[in-house]
């Protein structure tokens, strides 16, 4: 395994957990040890120094990471994260997960991830632009439409992707819309991208309920996280007839047994610094309390390691859809499975974003752009197809949905590595 420093603030290391899932899949697939060694280690780890001048004239040195886990199936793909908890080990874990996610969805990408350990709220727009442009400049030799395609992640948005695209394009001398995804539509972004991950979550939950003989109508849902993913999932589920009884943002959440008015809540959060706290038509609830509410579907859409051995026995939901990356720990997942709880794993449930990123990349390379209806239709097809394949694999191997998902993703990358062989 990659000898990275363990600087994760959580007591459960995301990189070790990612490797554990890989090893389980490798055992299920009976992979050759040599192939497992290749898949266990990122192909390239890039750490750069980012000197920037603050608005007050002071110079600050930041550190940026970009990890490219695999390019076996195609160019690397993954987000750029601005968050105080970013570490090289965390980024490496997320890059590995992205490899399996892309393979599972049948997308010709390998996984990557990048980030800078900053709190973007403490920087002005001008400072963030200088940080983003310098970071892009330092990565010039290692990113591009055929090499590694960044996208927004926690703490970044279409704005940062526009700065990255412009910096890259200026350096190569012409516009390159395919070098990032998640861009503004005005410069080659895709319609439907802003709602894509949340829409994918809704689709996978819908399919899981269908397998249980239910529909979204009247289903009671709790969502931890009301950002781009959680907010979109809440709105789409609400529109489909589900009863969203609780949501939370960083400082806390709100609860209503009769169901929240999601459009009104989104409007409130927009005017309240993106926080749902204080919404007058609901009762206050903490993030930890939300996870243990009596509900049909629980959607953790915030950070990793939210459902652990410490609180798993209090979780009451019968379906958990991992909209965040790694919100359920390995041991907690085993406990949930033993109780018959359906856990829809992150590499499946939150894959809508990378699917539409792939569709944006295809549009950018061809300079032919689609309407939102076609984007949503293409995305839904790939999501439903992947879900059905996971269900079939689970039944065939009598395994959990997580192991089935990883077995499919890892197996496809392993097969491609075997077919390509090792150079030289």
Domains of the chain: 14-175 (3.40.50.10860), 196-349 (3.40.50.720)
> Cβ-count burial of 404 within 10 angstroms (0-12 exposed, 13-18 middle, 19+ buried)?
buried
Other CB atoms within a 10 A radius of the CB of residue 38 amount to 16
> Rounded to whole angstroms, how far apart are CA atoms 398 and 407?
12
pLDDT digits (tens, 9 = 90+) for 302-336: 988 899 999 999 999 999 999 998 899 989 999 99
pLDDT digits (tens, 9 = 90+) for 155-196: 999 999 999 999 999 999 999 999 999 999 999 999 999 999
Other CB atoms within a 10 A radius of the CB of residue 197 amount to 25
Query: What is the arithmetic mean of pLDDT over 241-257?
Result: 95
* Res 71: pLDDT: 97
> Rounded to whole angstroms, how far apart are CA atoms 348 and 199?
12
Position 413 pLDDT exceeds 50: yes
* Res 315: pLDDT: 97
* Res 5: pLDDT: 41
Task: Please provide residue 200's backbone torsions phi and psi, each rounded to the nearest 5 degrees.
Answer: -60, -40
Token pair for residue 347? 């590499």
Asked whether the beta carbons of 25 and 410 are under 8 A apart, the reply is yes
Position 301 pLDDT exceeds 80: yes
* Res 3: pLDDT: 40
Task: For the chain, state the CA radius of gyration.
Answer: 21
Asked whether the beta carbons of 66 and 112 are under 8 A apart, the reply is yes
Other CB atoms within a 10 A radius of the CB of residue 326 amount to 26
* Res 6: pLDDT: 40
* Res 7: pLDDT: 37
- Closest residue by Cα to residue 102 from 71, 80, 140, 141: 71
Give the whole-number percent of the chain exceeding pLDDT 70. 97
pTM reported for the whole predicted model: 0.92
Q: Please state, rounded to an integer, the average pLDDT across all residues of the chain.
A: 94
Token pair for residue 366? 């061809």
> Rounded to whole angstroms, how far apart are CA atoms 307 and 48?
33
Confidence of residue 14 (pLDDT cuts 50, 70, 90): confident
Asked whether the beta carbons of 229 and 197 are under 8 A apart, the reply is yes
Position 412 pLDDT exceeds 60: yes
Q: What DSSP state is assigned to residue 369?
A: -
Query: What is the arithmetic mean of pLDDT over 79-88?
Result: 95
* Res 8: pLDDT: 39
Confidence of residue 281 (pLDDT cuts 50, 70, 90): confident
Asked whether the beta carbons of 223 and 247 are under 8 A apart, the reply is yes
Q: Is 278 helix (H, G, I), strand (E, B) or coil?
A: coil
Query: What is the arithmetic mean of pLDDT over 247-256?
Result: 93
Order of strands, edge to edge, in the sheet holding 283-285? 283-285, 252-255, 243-249, 220-224, 297-300, 319-321, 342-344
Residue 322 Cα distances to 35, 67, 82, 305, angstroms:
28, 23, 21, 11
> Rounded to whole angstroms, how far apart are CA atoms 315 and 355?
30
Torsion of CA 183, 184, 190, 196, to 10 degrees: 80
Task: Please provide residue 393's backbone torsions phi and psi, each rounded to the nearest 5 degrees.
Answer: -65, -40
> Rounded to whole angstroms, how far apart are CA atoms 92 and 4?
9
Beta-strand runs (E) in 258-331: 283-285, 297-300, 319-321
> Rounded to whole angstroms, how far apart are CA atoms 328 and 322?
8
Listed in sequence order, the residues at least 6 apart from 154 whose beta carbon sits closer than 8 Å to its beta carbon are: 79, 81, 82, 83
Query: In the annotation, is 243 catalytic?
Result: no
Asked whether the beta carbons of 59 and 130 are under 8 A apart, the reply is no
Asked whether the beta carbons of 202 and 208 are under 8 A apart, the reply is no
pLDDT digits (tens, 9 = 90+) for 201-228: 999 999 999 999 999 999 999 999 999 8
* Res 10: pLDDT: 44
Position 72 pLDDT exceeds 60: yes
Torsion of CA 28, 31, 34, 37, to 10 degrees: -30
Beta-strand runs (E) in 69-217: 76-82, 110-116, 148-152
> Rounded to whole angstroms, how far apart are CA atoms 65 and 258?
45
Name the residue with tokens 């040599």.
Answer: 34
Strands 220-224 and 148-152, by their bridges, are: unpaired
Find the catalytic residue in 77, 113, 243, 266.
113
Q: How many residues does the chain have?
A: 424
Q: Is 270 helix (H, G, I), strand (E, B) or coil?
A: helix
* Res 418: pLDDT: 96
Position 293 pLDDT exceeds 80: yes
**Ramachandran area for residue 375 (φ above 0: left; ψ -120 to 50: alpha; else beta):** alpha
> Rounded to whole angstroms, how far apart are CA atoms 377 and 40?
34
Residue 365 Cα distances to 146, 147, 304, angstroms:
10, 13, 34
């Amino acid at each position: 395994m990659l000898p990275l420093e363990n600087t994760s603030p959580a007591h459960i290391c995301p990189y070790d957990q990612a490797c554990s899932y890989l090893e389980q899949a490798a055992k299920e697939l009976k992979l050759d040890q040599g192939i497992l060694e290749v898949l266990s280690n990122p192909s390239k780890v890039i750490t750069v120094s980012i000197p920037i001048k603050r608005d007050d004239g002071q110079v600050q040195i930041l550190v940026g990471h970009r990890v490219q886990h695999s390019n076996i199936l195609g160019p690397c793909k993954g987000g750029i994260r601005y968050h105080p908890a970013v570490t090289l080990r965390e980024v490496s874990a997320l890059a590995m997960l992205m490899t399996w996610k892309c393979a599972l969805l049948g997308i010709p990408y390998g996984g990557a991830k990048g980030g800078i350990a900053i709190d973007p709220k403490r920087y002005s727009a001008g400072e963030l632009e200088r940080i983003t442009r310098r970071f892009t400049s330092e990565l010039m030799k290692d990113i591009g439409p055929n090499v590694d395609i960044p996208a927004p992640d926690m703490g970044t948005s279409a704005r940062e992707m526009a700065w990255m695209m412009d910096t890259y394009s200026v350096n190569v001398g012409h516009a390159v819309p395919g070098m990032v995804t998640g861009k503004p539509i005005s410069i080659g972004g895709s319609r439907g991208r802003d709602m894509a991950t949340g829409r994918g979550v809704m689709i996978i939950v819908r399919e899981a309920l269908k397998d249980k003989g239910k529909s979204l109508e009247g289903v009671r849902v709790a969502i931890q996280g009301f950002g781009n993913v959680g907010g979109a999932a809440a709105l789409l589920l609400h529109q489909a007839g589900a009863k969203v009884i609780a949501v939370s943002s960083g400082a806390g959440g709100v609860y209503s047994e009769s169901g929240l008015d999601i459009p009104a809540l989104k409007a409130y959060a927009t005017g309240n610094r993106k926080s749902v706290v204080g919404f007058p038509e609901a009762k206050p609830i903490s993030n930890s309390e939300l996870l243990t509410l009596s509900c049909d579907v629980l959607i953790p859409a915030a950070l990793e390691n939210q459902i652990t051995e410490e609180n798993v026995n209090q979780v009451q939901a019968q379906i958990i859809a991992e909209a965040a990356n790694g919100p359920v720990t390995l041991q907690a997942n085993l406990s949930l499975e033993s109780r018959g709880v359906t856990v829809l794993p992150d590499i499946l449930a939150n894959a809508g974003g990378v699917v539409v990123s792939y569709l944006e990349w295809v549009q950018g390379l061809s300079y032919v752009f689609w309407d939102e209806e076609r984007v949503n239709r293409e995305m839904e097809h790939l999501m439903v197809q992947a879900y059905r394949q996971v269900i079939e694999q689970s039944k065939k191997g009598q395994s959990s949905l997580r192991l089935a998902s990883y077995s499919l993703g890892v197996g496809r990358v392993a097969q491609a590595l075997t077919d390509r062989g090792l150079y030289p």
